[in-house]
Amino acid sequence: MTAFAMVFSRLCRVGVSLVSVLSLSFGLLGCVNLKAVRDFSGSSLSGIKSFEQLGYTFEDHCVDRCAYEAIRKFEFNRVLDCDCGLYLEADSVMVSMYQVVGGYFEALGHLAQNELTEFSTEGLVTSLTAEELGPLTVDANMAGAYSSISNLMLRSTTDFYRRRKIAAYIEEANAPLQVLLEAFQKTTRENLKGELRFKKERLYAYYMDMKMNNTLQSDYEKGKAATDYYQTLGEIEKKEKQMELFADALLEIAKGHQELYDKRDKLVAKDLALAMLGYSGQVKILLSEFNKLKP
């Protein structure tokens, strides 16, 4: 860290305002605003990382469906043979979106501190292919947005993107980032959560079959079946709520980044810091509610 950066950091900590007109070519930002960007980046990254805690994937749905059919037919196999190739590919797209969106906000946080980005880009692919993947569709718009953000992240690891370029970084990222965040939240809210709805319907049908076919004889068996049914139903509904909360967090993150983009030329304005505090706070509330539902 340079001597100027050390002095500037100390001034920020004690709340001293730098009263001077800075050239736009240098693009140095005020203490409050850099902290606002850092905090928003941090809360956004925490919200995005909750993806790892969703506890249900497209592959899980495929295996559940396969197992349900085997149980319904009273089939016993040494290995459950399920054709889940397309579902695995759909999961890989979800993971790719998670990595690139999370990586972007990690990089933004580092840049707000005038640091080079430190995350690894080794596992980051630079493109997605527009295609149908069973429960998920990658269209050309989404594929292009992914490529734009991943390439931007790869360039952000160089000296070109420092704090003096943070406005340019936000400007270049916003349009494709909005596309990815919308695709991510819709895929979670509609496609992945939709698979849970099917699971609930299959669960109901399975227990109704037992009831209608008089499979359950004693009161104990009936009570045990009802207990198992409602316990499993409750677990599914918790996952549904988590998916909704995660998707809501992505929506708040998208709104917050749009605010950064809209005011990218006025990043020293105090109202931006207040606005970003609001977005950060909302993401934290959603994350707190999400965590309450974890096992």
* pLDDT (average), residues 213-241: 87
Question: pTM of the predicted model, to two decimals?
Answer: 0.80
Q: pLDDT digits over 117-162, tens only? A: 555 555 555 567 777 777 888 888 898 999 999 888 777 665 555 5
Residue 284: the pLDDT is: 95
Residue 273: the pLDDT is: 84
* pLDDT (average), residues 161-176: 80
Residue 16 has pLDDT above 50, yes or no: no
Residue 19: the pLDDT is: 28
- Angle, nearest 10°, between helix axes 193-212 and 219-262? 170
Residue 239: the pLDDT is: 94
Residue 216: the pLDDT is: 76
Rounded Cα gap, residues 72 and 69, in angstroms: 5
Residue 15: the pLDDT is: 35
* pLDDT (average), residues 218-241: 90
* pLDDT (average), residues 232-237: 92
Residue 4 has pLDDT above 50, yes or no: no
Half-sphere exposure of 156 (CA within 13 A, CB side): 34
Residue 5: the pLDDT is: 39
Residue 158: the pLDDT is: 59
Rounded Cα gap, residues 256 and 261, in angstroms: 9
**Amino acid found at 253:** I
* pLDDT (average), residues 208-218: 80
Residue 6 has pLDDT above 50, yes or no: no
**Of the candidate ranges 13-17, 150-154, 229-233, 247-251, the one whose mean pLDDT is the lowest:** 13-17
Contact 136, 1 (CB under 8 A): no
Q: Determine the distance from the C-alpha atom of residue 224 to the mean position of all C-alpha atoms in its chain, rounded to a whole number.
A: 38
Q: pLDDT digits over 17-73, tens only? A: 322 222 232 334 444 457 888 899 999 999 999 999 998 999 999 998 888 878 777
Rounded Cα gap, residues 273 and 276, in angstroms: 5
Mean pLDDT of all residues in the chain?
80
CB burial of residue 288 (10 Å; 0-12, 13-18, 19+) = exposed
Residue 3: the pLDDT is: 37
* pLDDT (average), residues 250-272: 87
Give the whole-number percent of the chain exceeding pLDDT 70: 80
Contact 125, 96 (CB under 8 A): yes
Residue 242 has pLDDT above 50, yes or no: yes
Contact 124, 146 (CB under 8 A): no
* pLDDT (average), residues 92-114: 88
Residue 123: the pLDDT is: 52
